[in-house]
Amino acid sequence: MPNPLDIARYIIIIVLSLLWLFIAIVNWRIAWRQWKQPNAKGPSIVPLFGALLAWGILALIPVSNYHSRIRWVWILWLLEYGSLPYFISAVLYLTHEAWIHNPLFLVMTLHGNKANGTQCLLTFYRNGDCILKQTKMPPPHVELSLKGKWRQEPPKTLIVIFATLEFLLEEIETTGRYQLSTASDSKLLEGVQFSVK
């Protein structure tokens, strides 16, 4: 007659394995959708949960050889996108962002202040990225950081786009100062006059 503890162990292993498989499929589907449609809204990946389930499954399996368990953990971590592949892709993405947004590729930095004391910093990079940072905002003292795109049009007009917001910055003669000439219906940069930093 089989031991009831062994039966319970194998039932738990099967349930955890099915849960791991479900999470692995969902994470790979989310990763595929994000790769095919980068701007689409939807659920995000569940990181590390599959890795924890893999440890739980392999801890319950009655194997006398510890090294064979470790080998299977690595295989399960590679098969589940929320584990090792997710963290490798995150490191690669952050390395890429740090590289393209370093001072070597900086075109210009503009700074300005709003009437309420908010400091605005617009940073332009060669690849067409523009980063807006707003600091020292009035209470609740949040900081804002947006990434958008920019392009220059003759004679000295900068077009800055953050999602659906579009701003035109025109240089005042040759002073190195820029003023907002037109904008979408947004108070994001209202009343700010920028100068080259």
Domain boundaries, the chain: 4-98, 105-196
Query: CA 90: distance to chain centroid?
Result: 8
Q: Residue holding tokens 């090792």?
A: 84
Q: What is the pLDDT of residues 89-120, one digit of tens each?
A: 889 989 998 898 888 999 889 898 887 888 88
Least confident of 20-29, 92-101, 133-142: 133-142
User: Whole-number mean pLDDT of the chain?
Assistant: 84
> Could you tell me the CA-to-CA distances from 11 to 4, 5, 98, 190 in Å, in that order?
11, 10, 47, 62
pLDDT category at 185 given cuts 50, 70, 90 is low
| Calpha distance 105→89 (Å, rounded) | 23
What pLDDT score does 186 carry?
67
pLDDT at 70: 76
Measured between alpha carbons, how far is residue 177 from residues 30, 160, 165, 197 in Å? 45, 16, 22, 10
128: left (phi over 0), alpha (psi -120 to 50) or beta: left
Report domain 105-196's class: mainly beta
- CA 168, CA 183: separation in Å to the nearest integer? 6
pTM of the complete model: 0.64
The sign of the CA dihedral 86, 88, 89, 95 is: positive
Q: What is the SS3 assignment for 13?
A: helix
Cis, bond preceding 47 (omega within 30 deg of 0): no
